Amino acid sequence: MKKIIAIAVIAIVSLAGVFAAAGSSAAVRLNGKVDETAYTPSLYYVVSDGKAESVGTSLYDIADGDSRWDLTKDGETNDFIVKVTGNMNTDKVLTVSVRPNYFTGSVNDKKYVTGVIPALVASGADGNAFTATVAAGKRAATDIAHFSFSWTGDKDLPAADYTSEIAITYSVNN
């Protein structure tokens, strides 16, 4: 009887080997991709109601609410925001630099240049420039940097409407 059981076990093991040998296995690799889109920065200004408006690429006029700032007093703008859109796969650096000009006006029908000049207010600012990191990944108009401008007023200024044009350059090192 032990012989019959032993022969049966050997037969079953042999058959299992035959069936296993008859089977097959394979591995497959699925290949996909996401096209990379370079980061594109855009500049916005926070208006008095807290909403951010696109500055665009032409001259953008800013005032204190519905009126001009009183330059006899210290002042500061609301925040500017640089937003980035894209999906790079490595960290990049956003660079912002500004070139402010003195407030100028017209006094006695002549150009009058004040001693009041806007200064950049930004975390990590070095003079008129600063940088921020754009972390790798998908960005859909993501806030990357905030900054503003402030100035020290001059109580001795003559009456006039004054303006200061500030060149703002911003780019991502794609």
pLDDT tens-place string over residues 84-131: 999 999 999 999 999 999 999 999 999 999 999 999 999 889 999 999
pLDDT at 122: 94
Q: What percentage of the chain has pLDDT greater than the value 90?
A: 72
Q: What is the pTM of this model?
A: 0.79
CATH numbers and ranges of domains, the chain: 40-172 (2.60.40)
20's CB contacts (< 8 A; 6+ apart) are none
Q: Which helix (H) or strand (E) holds 30?
A: none
pLDDT at 8: 46
Query: Is residue 34 a contact partner of residue 87, using CB atoms and an 8 Å limit?
Result: yes
Distance between terminal CA atoms of the chain? 81
